[in-house]
Structure 1
Amino acid sequence: MLLWMVALLFVWLSPQAQPYLVFEGDILILQCRGRKNAALSQVKFYRDEKLLHFSKNNQPLFLGTATANSSGRYNCTGRVKYARNTDSWDSGTAMVQVQEWFLPPVLTALPSHELCKGSPVTLRCQTKLHSQKSAWRLLFSFHKEGRTLQNRSRHPELHIPAAKEGDAGLYWCKASPKGGQVQKRSPQLELRVWAPVSRPLLTLRPTSLVVGEEVELLCEVQRGSPPILYSFHLNGDILRNHVAPHGGPASCLFRVMSEQHAGNYSCEAGNRVSRETSEPVTLSVDGPLPAQNLPSAPVEEQHQLYVNARPAQPAQQEKDISVIYAEVKHPQLSKDPDKGLNRRSTTR
């Protein structure tokens, strides 16, 4: 059976040079005492000039457990009955100062409240006893988001040997004297456990295209604490950055404007504790599609033509020119598949 030790403090409301020192948790009782212990009646108790209680026959005033709000200036008034008359009486002001038994605890994390997954961390509940209460022993409790991790232990520390992602969250501690009613709670401390990012996977859609088409780059990690910073690269040069504040993949969509966009693409993912790069993926880019049904230029404005981007051989040059001239003079011939004149050409 737990026995609670309670300090009963009678504050005699009569003028004195020194204030009454009361510790939080003490039971505070006010007693109005007349001069030379004269009997009082019609007693009124005041705190900071505000009426607290009226007692017809001067019963002690029970104020309960003292707190910081119990500090103040107290006084009482009453009636003193003499043999021939009745006189009024005022106690004067008595100062009451409530002292803290111990300071509110503060929870700290060593070496830091931000750590990598698998690292050790120690939670420490720190406070200090009043000099007049230094002989008392404090008990400590540790809590996380509604769960009690350690209850009323003499040890002011809680050790986590290898932090997991599930250990992240809000923690606080409580301190209380052994056998006392005072209990104080620390502010909350957020413990952050950072999981390193896994190697990202880069996907290209499609992996082969022609100039003018669009390509999508999708970069994704399977593990890693957000926020995650992604960056896309072509042949080692950075193309674009993207931040995923809550994790998840990142994509980059752009139109291929030249064959220079062909090459090895990669992406990089990183957070506060690690950074990883994907395997490269090759993008193939062909030349642009040929223009169809282009209008013919006048004969005098025609230039030498190249077939499949390679110049015609000198021995065939005269024949090719005559054929192309025939196409210009008779465009309907180019539509006849039997004539073999429907060829893709570019003008230099």
Structure 2
Amino acid sequence: MLLWTAVLLFVPCVGKTAWLCLQAWPDPVFEGDALTLRCQGRKNISVSQVKFYKDGKVLHFYEGKQTLSVGAATLQSRGQYHCTGQVMYIPQTFTLISEAAMVQVRELFPPPVLSVIPSPEPREGSLVTLRCQTKLHPLRSALRLLFSFHKDGHTLQDRGPLPELCIPGVKGEDSGLYWCEAALEGGQVQKQSPRLEVRVQAPVSRPVLTLQHGPADPAVGDVVQLLCEAQRGSPPIRYSFYLDEKIVGNHSAPCGGSASLLFPVKSEHDAGNYSCEAENSVSRERSEPRKLSLKGSQALSTPTGSNRLVPWLPVSLFGMMVIAAAFLVYLRPWRKAGPLPSQIPPTTPGGERCSPYANGHHQEEKGEGVVYSVRRGTSRRSAGQFCHLCRGEMPAAQ
């Protein structure tokens, strides 16, 4: 009797390590495999009231079954498993605990990665290829994967063997969030790629520049606003403002739209031809120039080149008059020495020379003892009046 009692006391200790064991199959276990657990007694001894545990928590309780079908294995199926059961040793029943068994579930294939060729920011009108990339485990390379492509909640392509999808001539509406899915044929294992944003880059349109000021032309001290806007184009858009090809300011529109530049008119130098330029990652466009005129330019503090010439205009005219007078003085002695041969008047019947240039007034010039006089007469050859220009010595003083 004492010997039997000693054997019964020893059984639980032995059974804790050898009399009850847990088996998991298949081995190795991959994602999608049907995982089965079996709680077995040593030498196929009958076990009842079996409980299965994972990481210390009860999975299931069976009255008489020693096998548990876990279902399709997933990566979450990894863990430490053990079981408990009752074994009858006449005339007593003992509860035994199996050793822990580590179940490793291998990954059948990693989550796919979606890539966009040539770039997640393609130019409008270009060809785009979506590629879903993953690879089966070498021990399961004979299996078959199917791929599908999705965008913003709707399916672009159902499951098929091709891991690529081509989109010819992308447009602005093709921008959005894309992802792909790889699934084992039969659907036991399905994995999605992370979302990837595709932004189709559209070139900027030619911007329009607007000059905003009062109803009349601005004057010094007034504020002028330059407003530049490109109707289309992918953001961000950088705007630059120019005055006669010289940059005067720039602004960025991160979300697209327009940009403006405010500046006070300081001098006449602020007048001129203004233009703006819109630029994004695809293209660059320049607006038509707009002319800004200022009123009251004569009151501006900074004179321009044309204004500086105004004070010198009378001086220039006076200088020209002085030069002309000096030229006449230079020619005067030559005139008193006698007329040019071409200017000798024809001889009248009386021997006097008649000037064809004389008219009805009387003119007399004196100088250096020579007297010129004009007198009227009647030609014998014509009934009209004519004049004689006679030369004679100056009479002696009385």
**Matches of 1:154 and 1:16, distance apart in 2:** 37
8 Å CA contact 2:22–2:82 kept in 1: the answer is no
Q: CA deviation at 1:49?
A: 2.8
Seen in structure 2, the aligned counterparts of structure 1 residues 311 and 130 have a Cα distance that, compared at 3 Å, is closer
**Matches of 1:19 and 1:178, distance apart in 2:** 20
Local SS of the residue matching 1:170: strand
What are the within-5 Å matches in structure 2 for residues 42-191 of structure 1? 42-191=49-198
Deviates more, 1:277-286 or 1:111-120: 277-286
Local SS of the residue matching 2:139: helix
Aligned equivalent of 1:218: 227
Tell me which of 22, 29, 35 is aligned to 1:28: 35
Give the number of the structure whose residues are more often strand, by fraction.
1
**Matches of 1:205 and 1:94, distance apart in 2:** 81
The letter for the 1-side match of 2:50 is V
Is 1:198 the counterpart of 2:202 in the alignment? no
**Matches of 1:67 and 1:15, distance apart in 2:** 20
**TM-score after normalising by structure 2:** 0.66
**Matches of 2:135 and 2:207, distance apart in 1:** 50
Local SS of the residue matching 2:218: strand
Aligned equivalent of 2:255: 246
Tell me which of 224, 235, 239 is aligned to 1:230: 239
Structure of larger gyration radius: 2
Seen in structure 2, the aligned counterparts of structure 1 residues 235 and 57 have a Cα distance that, compared at 3 Å, is same
**Matches of 1:104 and 1:313, distance apart in 2:** 91
Deviates more, 1:211-220 or 1:110-119: 211-220
Q: CA deviation at 1:287?
A: 3.2
**Matches of 1:158 and 1:20, distance apart in 2:** 37
Seen in structure 2, the aligned counterparts of structure 1 residues 49 and 283 have a Cα distance that, compared at 3 Å, is same
Aligned equivalent of 1:330: none
**Matches of 1:151 and 1:174, distance apart in 2:** 10
Seen in structure 2, the aligned counterparts of structure 1 residues 60 and 112 have a Cα distance that, compared at 3 Å, is same
Gaps of 5+ in 1: 1-12, 292-308, 315-348
Give the number of the structure whose residues are more often helix, by fraction.
2
Gaps of 5+ in 2: 1-19, 301-309, 316-398
Local SS of the residue matching 1:115: coil
Give me the CA root mean square deviation: 2.6
Local SS of the residue matching 2:281: coil
Report the number of matched residues. 286
8 Å CA contact 1:19–1:95 kept in 2: the answer is no
8 Å CA contact 1:20–1:96 kept in 2: the answer is no
Identity of aligned residues (%): 59
